Copies of this chain bind each other. A is one copy, B any other.
Amino acid sequence: MRPVRVAVDAMGGDYAPQEIVKGAIRAAGSDGIEITLVGPEDAIHRELEKYDIAGVPIHVVNASEVIQEGDSPVAAMREKPDASILVAIRLVKRGEADAVVSIGYTGAVMVAAIEILGKLEGVKRPSAGGLLCRFAPRSVLFDMGPNADCKPRDLLNFAVIGSVAARRILGIDNPTVALLSNGSEEGKGNLLVKKAYQLFKQSHLNFIGNIEGNDIPFGRANVIVCDGFTGNILLKFCEGLGEAVVERVKTALDKRLPEEEIEIVASSLFAWTHAAEEGAPIYGVDGVVVIGHGRSHAPQLASAIQMAKLAVESNLVEELKLELGKVKTEG
C-alpha cells in the first residue's frame, strides 16, 4: 500500500511549531505515513534541524500567515489567503495530500474545511464526535459541539455518522445506536428526542432506544446521539469532573502511597476522563480533516496523525457519503 500523505498545520496550537514538528517526526517514523509540514519554511526548518531526520518521509510547504484564535474565521479566509491551515487543506483538495491534521483554532479549521472541501450531501453543518470518556472505549457520542440547535433529522444524520465512525474507527460491526434522554422508555425526552425517536425507529439503524446519562460511562450503546449543545456540555463536564476527582484522589492518597504510585493512579484517571485529547475527524466534509486539542504536545499530535491515517485507509469519507445517501429517504 502506498503511504498515507498527511498535511500537518505546523502553526496551530499552544506549542507550535516545536511540539508539532516533534510529533510529526514521530509519526513519520512509523510505517505508511508521509508528512508535509505546512507553515513558515524558515521556522519549520529551524525546528527540523534539531533532529536526525535522514530517510524520514517529511516535507515542508511554505505558508506565510497564521489564523489565530480571535480572528473571525470567515474574514480570515479572505484576509490571510496564505494561512497555514488554508494551504494545508488546499493540498488535500488538489489531491496532493490525503488528509489534514490541525490543532489550531477549531472554528477556523471547520470553516476552511467546509469552504475548500465542501460538505457531503445532506449535511447542514459538519459534526464532531468520538469517545466521550475512556471508560466506554466502544462508544462514540455525536454531536459534541458544532450543532447546538438541532432538528430530529439532524440527530438521524448524527446516528448515521456515528455508526460509520463506530464501524470504521472502532471496528464494530453493526453498532447499536441510542438516543440520549432523560428516561429510558419510549416517550421520555424533550420534544426533539421524542420526535427523533420515531425517525430512528423507522430507519435502518440498529436502534436500541433511549439511554440515560448514567449509562454513558458503561458503554450501553456504541453510538450515543444528542444535540451538540448537550454533547459539548457533557464533554467538558466529564473533563472538569475528571480534574476534580484527580485532585481529590491525590489528597486522599497523600502519604498513604509513594508519590510515583499516586501519580500513576492520577494520570490514568485524567486520561480516562479526557478522551478527546487525541484528535478526531470532522465528519461531513468531503475530505479527511482531523482536529486536535490546542494544548496537544508531540504524543497527542502523533496520535492525531495516526487517526488521519486510519480515516484515510478505512475509506471513512466514501462510507459516509454512501450511508448519508441511504438515510436521505428515511424520515
A positions within 8 Å CB-CB of B: 133, 135, 145, 148-149, 180-182, 189-191, 193, 212-218, 226-230, 232-241, 243-245, 248-249, 252-253, 256-257, 261, 264-265, 268-269, 272-273
Contact B149 A191, beta carbon cutoff 8 Å: yes
Known A237-B214, A240-B214; judge A182-B245 contact (CB<8 A): no
CB distance from A14 to the nearest CB of B (A): 17
Known A190-B229, A252-B265, A268-B252; judge A218-B235 contact (CB<8 A): no
How many of these chains are in the complex?
2
Known A148-B182, A149-B191; judge A236-B217 contact (CB<8 A): no
- Which residues does chain B contribute within 8 Å of A214, judged by CB atoms? 236-237, 239-240, 243
Contact A216 B190, beta carbon cutoff 8 Å: no
Known A135-B241, A273-B241; judge A145-B182 contact (CB<8 A): yes
Contact B243 A217, beta carbon cutoff 8 Å: yes
- Which residues does chain B contribute within 8 Å of A248, judged by CB atoms? 135, 268-269, 272
CB distance from A310 to the nearest CB of B (A): 26
Contact A237 B216, beta carbon cutoff 8 Å: yes
Q: CA separation between A190 and B192, bound complex, in Å? A: 13
4 additional A-B pairs beyond A135-B241, A213-B236, A253-B253, beta carbons within 8 Å, are: A182-B232, A214-B239, A253-B257, A256-B261
Q: CA separation between A234 and B240, bound complex, in Å? A: 12
Known A145-B182, A148-B182, A227-B190; judge A232-B213 contact (CB<8 A): yes
CB distance from A125 to the nearest CB of B (A): 13
Q: CA separation between A246 and B36, bound complex, in Å? A: 44
Contact A235 B213, beta carbon cutoff 8 Å: yes
Contact B149 A190, beta carbon cutoff 8 Å: yes
Contact B241 A212, beta carbon cutoff 8 Å: no
From B189, B227, B245, give the contact of A245 (CB < 8 A): B245
Contact A244 B217, beta carbon cutoff 8 Å: yes
Contact B237 A213, beta carbon cutoff 8 Å: yes
Contact B241 A241, beta carbon cutoff 8 Å: yes
Supply 21 A–B pairs (Cβ within 8 Å), ascending by A: A133-B241, A149-B190, A149-B191, A181-B233, A190-B229, A213-B232, A213-B237, A213-B239, A217-B240, A217-B243, A226-B233, A233-B234, A237-B237, A237-B238, A238-B241, A248-B272, A249-B249, A249-B265, A252-B268, A253-B253, A253-B257
- Enumerate the 7 nearest inter-chain pairs by beta-carbon distance, A residue then B residue, closest first: A213-B236, A214-B240, A213-B237, A217-B244, A182-B232, A213-B233, A214-B236
Q: CA separation between A230 and B212, bound complex, in Å? A: 11
- A212 nearest in chain B by CB position: B236
Q: CA separation between A240 and B191, bound complex, in Å? A: 24
CB distance from A142 to the nearest CB of B (A): 15
- Which residues does chain B contribute within 8 Å of A234, judged by CB atoms? 213, 233-234, 237
